[in-house]
Chains A and B, each alone.
Chain A
Amino acid sequence: MKLVSINKEDFYAGAEKLYNSYKLYIPVKQEDNSYAFKNSDKIDINNLTFLNTRLSPKSLVFPQTEKMFSYTTDTNSEDCNIIKPINKENLKQAILGIRPCDSASFGIVEKNFDTEEYKDPFWINSYKATTFIGLACDNPDSTCFCTTANSGPFDEKGLDILLITSGDSFIGKILTKKGEEAAKIAGWTTEAPADSVSAIEKQKKEAESKISSSISTDKIKDKDTLELYNASFWEEEAFACINCGTCAYVCPTCWCFDIQDEISDKKGIRMRNWDSCMFPLFTLHGSGHNPRDLKYQRARQRFMHKLKYYQDKYQSGIQCVGCGRCIRLCPVNIDIRRICDIMNS
């Protein structure tokens, strides 16, 4: 691990150089004051105090719609009806200014897409082609609970470089080979002063102390699955849920998808689209039977998956990084912290 000093000019020049070598994504302020990752090099230091982007950056690795295969149904073609791979070049891309919670989310999702038996080439190739240049978080929101959900405001998991704001310059923590390469391209090579380590440590402690919400999941792990599943609180807690896809779509760790064929003029593609366990269609059998027929059953699935099944399946933490997006954006104020508390009590 290496520490570099990056002053304002170096930072801007670096962004430009990164833009020329990678498909570079940066957080850009939108008209309504929300932030979104856009392919640009016009990064503005003054905007980097943003809490987080409205949507998580998962779409940069796992697009909401992704073409998988193509085919023709033209009977005159000798390839008629044969499903063929689309030759996709996985362009090197970099995400500059990703928050630590979001970069940590990829490690959680990786367990789903990169397994011993099967490898999802679309997700894995795209993930491998991405360099993550994170931005430590000094001003978390009251809905942030990262420190008790696999991450933290200065968490380094999944990052190649962590940038720490220091006045109007930055200290860069180069964490991986990929990070070294990116720092070299950006020209971020000035060694940071020796006292940076302790300064960062102090800043980190300060940021962590600002995280005012927390969750506990320790007891959920030891609870019997069926007991939790059959608990009487679900119907009441999930009553408000309108079963929209907001929580799943804004969540950095929700990965469920649908596969669809679309055809026009005998040329077809097979694609995958984000899907959500909140939608009745997600589990509806061809016979009309639906194992999760009721609204509360679908809401229960989402929380059980994130907080219980994931822990059990991978013998690891929960499937959540505490970014707080679902809390902030749920139209009916279903709060994962509250559900988690109830499940854990």
Chain B
Amino acid sequence: MAEYISKIQEISKKILQDGKVDIVIGFSDGSLPMASRPCFIKSPEDTGKLIFDGNCGINLANYLTGKKEKIGIIAKGCDSRNIAQLIVENKIKREQLFIIGVPCFKMIDKRKTSLLFEEEITQVTESDDKIIVKGKNKEKTFNREDMLQENCITCMHRNPVIYDELAGELIKESDQKAEYEDVKKIEAMSSEDRWNHFSEMLSACVRCYACRDACPLCYCPTCFVDESSPQWVGKSADNQIDVKTFHILRAFHCAGRCTDCGACEKACPMGIKVRKFTRKLNSDAMRHYEWEAGLTTDKRPLLDNFRVNDYQDFIK
């Protein structure tokens, strides 16, 4: 990990010095254990602030939309896929970017760790396969792989798909196929059970929209929930139909575009498993079209692409 950091800092310094980019977007140290803070660096002297560890699960592609300057950006596998997605969707130009690719060693789930540790965590140290968690009264060592974010567990694309320079050696990707067991479980429910399952899951939602705001795909200038004429969705927190409408429609807007980076779920202050919706759509995209989002900048997004050999004929 230390090598990653020094390499990230070194590359960032060089591209800033050489004037290849105006800013570098990366992570800086957080004020709490298991936290990092997205930041931008303008001056080569400040590149020492850049860090990288298992707590950098926020998707930095989210900070690119609409930017005009030349940007260096730290990109894990999922970040890079979202960058590719943004390039295809004309939200940023490839020429504007210097992508510092970081083959990802998978991110740690802060909630899972806190839940298992049961008291306030004051310090966390990471090694390749362990994390050592300290509190005021105790210390515990966990296997790193038991503490991973759920999206990282099933991740098939840890290596950046596009990059200009790498901050570490490429990793051998998992050769397992994406099984979507979690999705299948929900698909197997009766529609009534499924409705209840989602109702219960979303009942905690406070409509802070952190899931949307952390998502690099959600760049609409006015989100459909905020639209007032016509007003598609009511604004009250009491009306659970409106809450569901938001989550389900948002997921549909991400169909064929979502890279399962997990930022939505990580951002939710209420711990709602919002990925259940996007995972279903990812699974459908895979099942029907063998499609995974953001793997290349050469193809149009799944749903703005029609082929005459489409397996369904409703559109013909």
B19 at the interface (CB under 8 A from A): no
With a cutoff of 8 Å between Cβ atoms, the chain B residues found around residue A51 in the complex are 120
In the complex, the answer to whether A246 meets B271 with C-beta atoms within 8 Å is no
Name the residue on B nearest A32 (C-beta).
B271
A336 smallest CB distance to B (angstroms): 10
A271 touches B236 (CB 8 A): yes
Q: Are B122 and A54 in contact (CB-based, < 8 A)?
A: no
Q: Are A244 and B120 in contact (CB under 8 A)?
A: no
The interface stretch among A159-167, A174-182, A190-198, A327-335 is A327-335
Residues of A within 8 A of B114 (CB): 33
A33, A248, A274, A331: residue with the most chain B Cβ atoms closer than 10 Å: A331
Q: Which residues from B are CB-within-8-Å of A333?
A: 30-32, 35-37
Q: Which residues of B contact A64 (CB under 8 A)?
A: 206-207, 237-238
Are B32 and A143 neighbours in the complex by a CB distance under 8 Å? yes
Stretch of A16-24, A94-102, A234-242 that contacts chain B: A234-242
Q: Which of B85-121 contact A (CB under 8 A)?
A: 111, 114-115, 118, 120
> B254 within 8 Å of A by Cβ?
no
Within 8 Å of chain A (Cβ to Cβ): is B213? yes
Say yes or no: is B257 at the interface (Cβ < 8 Å to chain A): no
Beyond the given A34-B271, A333-B35, could you list 12 further A-B residue pairs with CB under 8 A, ordered by the A residue number?
A: A51-B120, A239-B39, A244-B209, A244-B210, A244-B212, A244-B214, A245-B206, A246-B269, A260-B234, A260-B236, A281-B226, A332-B214
| B115 & A327 in contact (Cβ 8 Å cutoff) | no
Q: In A247-306, which residues have CB < 8 Å from any B CB?
A: 248-250, 258, 260, 262, 271, 273-274, 276, 279-281
In the assembly, what is the distance between CA of A250 and CA of B207, in Å? 12
Which residues of A pack against B, CB within 8 Å? 32-34, 51, 54-55, 64-65, 141-143, 236, 239-240, 242-246, 248-250, 258, 260, 262, 271, 273-274, 276, 279-281, 327-329, 331-335, 337-338
Choose among B31, B210, B263 the residue that contacts A337 (Cβ–Cβ < 8 A). B31
B280 interface residue per 8 A CB criterion: no
Which bucket holds chain B's interface residue count?
Answer: 35 or more
Instruction: Determine which of B237, B267, B270 lies in contact with A54 in the assembled complex, contact meaning CB atoms within 8 Å.
Output: B270
Tell me the B residues contacting A by CB distance below 8 Å: 30-32, 35-40, 58, 62-63, 111, 114-115, 118, 120, 122, 206-210, 212-214, 222, 226, 234-239, 263, 266-271
Docked complex Cα distance between A242 and B58 (Å): 11
Q: From B214, B222, B238, B266, give the contact of A65 (CB < 8 A).
A: B238
Find out whether the CB atom of B32 lies under 8 angstroms from the CB atom of A327.
Answer: yes
Q: Which B residues touch A328, using CB under 8 A?
A: 32
Closest 5 CB pairs of A and B: A331-B267, A244-B210, A245-B208, A244-B213, A65-B236
Q: Which residues of A contact B118 (CB under 8 A)?
A: 33
Q: Say whether A249 contacts B206, CB under 8 Å.
A: yes
Complex Cα–Cα for A334 and B35 (A): 10
Q: Give the residues in chain B near A327, CB-CB below 8 Å.
A: 31-32
B227 to chain A, nearest CB (A): 10
Per the bound structure, the CA–CA distance linking A338 and B239 in Å amounts to 37
Known A142-B122, A249-B206, A260-B236: A242·B267 in contact at CB below 8 Å: yes
**A245 and B210 contact, CB distance less than 8 A:** yes
